[in-house]
Amino acid sequence: MTPMTAPNSAAGRSGGVESKRAIIVGASSGIGRELAIVLSQAGWSVGLMARRHEELEETARRMTSPGIVTVADLADVEAAQVRFAELMAQLGGVELVVLSSGVGFLNPDLSWPEEQQTIAVNVTGCAALAGAAFREFERAGRGHLVGISSIAAIRGGAAAPAYGASKAFLSNYLEALRCRAIKKRLPIAVTDIQPGFVDTAMAKGEGKFWVASPQVAARQIYGAILRRRRHAYVTRRWRLIAWLLRWLPESLYARM
């Protein structure tokens, strides 16, 4: 791990005042990077985790408050869990964990390597770190877990089967963790963010309808975090599309 203006102590205190601390998994680009910048501007100390070191360093340079960089690939689950635990320890614990990491491929030919990589990162890797974060929050008695899912979680998509299915898994898993917190009467918030089209590399130029910039998406996500929302569409107008997708008959949906 590489500190980029590390906290004044392992407990994340500065000048005797405890700072807000967060980890963003998938902070090397897109929504994750912009959210890290937004958090830093709001005074958070942020741990940055992704598989691309140079891009993480660039994110840290653009932040205005403490950041710590650590490299990990969610496809390597055991190593990612170790690095995540080390990052959390270096920050002295955190109040917020955001899972923004993910991969996706247009895969109409159902090539297995692409499907397998999507499942490895978006399902296995994200579930492992979501569980690790939640266990830490249970021990601390508080916390906030945020997962960046997708509007694609609502229905299966013929062009990218594993991507939509993996995001549906994440949404379902987040709901299960939220139910666990409610059942145990713990003040742990769990937020499922479902973006529509955002102008990132993940979109691969496919999204032309209601495309949001990563900066706009990050600001809306931060608003949902502050309100401890259970669920939010980004941008908010996508709630209409979500409603239509849920109620559209499959005979029509399959032709889209």
Instruction: Give the catalytic positions in this structure.
Output: 163
121, 170 contact by CB (below 8 A):
no
**Burial of residue 76, with CB atoms counted within 10 A of its CB: 0-12 exposed, 13-18 middle, 19 or more buried:** middle
Minimal CA–CA distance to 105: which of 95, 96, 117, 94?
117
User: Residues, the chain, total?
Assistant: 256
Q: Which residue has the tokens 């931060």?
A: 222
Rounded-to-integer distance, Cα 235 and Cα 212, Å: 7
236, 196 contact by CB (below 8 A):
no
157, 194 contact by CB (below 8 A):
no
Rounded-to-integer distance, Cα 6 and Cα 91, Å: 9
Rounded-to-integer distance, Cα 127 and Cα 184, Å: 20
Rounded-to-integer distance, Cα 114 and Cα 118, Å: 6
DSSP conformational letter for 153: G
